[in-house]
């Protein structure tokens, strides 16, 4: 378990997924067609003039979904928008829908929401607050801070405490 503490939160490293594996929702145009980005001259392991790795997107980043990860014994949906990564609870609080397969929408106030694929409820990626239906503004889901190492693409998700599941394993003596 790789983790570090910062600003009163414990950050857990996301294994086997990096920034470059996440679909970049900022590349979607208003008419929902993906903008064409050419990476034909970029190697995943080449370096820029500043010495930073120049990583091209992996094949996984072409899938137009969020990414489901298990961190600190919690299922978290990760969404990339440009160089920012958002973490939100995987299950929609309304009916348990898988938020990682929901679409990202930018609202008129410039906030980003994930739309649940089951019933179309929208949750703000920054606050977790329900934005649609507006009558359910009292409902929200959990959001998690995500740290991005822009040099390596490594991701870490923040929690205010360790999962209690780490401490509930029965102890076996005498083996």
Give the C-alpha separation, 9 to 1, whole Å: 15
The CATH number that domain 3-29+53-160 falls under is 2.102.10.10
Q: Which residues contact 119 (CB under 8 A, 6 or more apart)?
A: 92, 94, 95, 97
pLDDT of residue 11: 95
Is pLDDT at 159 greater than 90 in this prediction? yes
pLDDT of residue 7: 80
Q: Which pTM does this prediction carry?
A: 0.77
Phi then psi dihedrals of residue 134, to 5 deg = -65, -25
Q: Where are the domains of the chain?
A: 3-29+53-160
Residue-wise pLDDT for 49-73, tens only, equals: 444 444 444 444 456 789 999 999 9
């Amino acid at each position: 378990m790789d983790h570090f503490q910062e600003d009163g939160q414990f950050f857990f490293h996301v294994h086997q997924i990096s920034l470059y594996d996440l679909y970049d929702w900022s590349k979607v145009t208003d008419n929902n067609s993906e903008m064409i980005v050419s990476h034909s001259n970029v190697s995943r392991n080449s370096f820029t003039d500043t010495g930073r790795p120049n990583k091209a997107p992996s094949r996984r980043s072409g899938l137009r979904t969020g990414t489901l990860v298990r961190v600190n014994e919690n299922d978290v949906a990760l969404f990339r928008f440009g160089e920012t990564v958002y973490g939100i609870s995987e299950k929609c609080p309304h009916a348990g829908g898988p938020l990682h397969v929901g679409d990202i929408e930018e609202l008129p106030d410039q906030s980003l929401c994930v739309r649940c694929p089951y019933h179309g409820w929208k949750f703000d990626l920054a606050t977790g607050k329900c934005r649609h239906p507006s009558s359910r503004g009292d409902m929200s889901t959990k959001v998690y801070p995500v740290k991005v190492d822009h040099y390596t693409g490594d991701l870490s998700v923040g929690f205010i405490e360790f999962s209690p599941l780490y401490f509930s394993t029965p102890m076996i003596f005498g083996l």
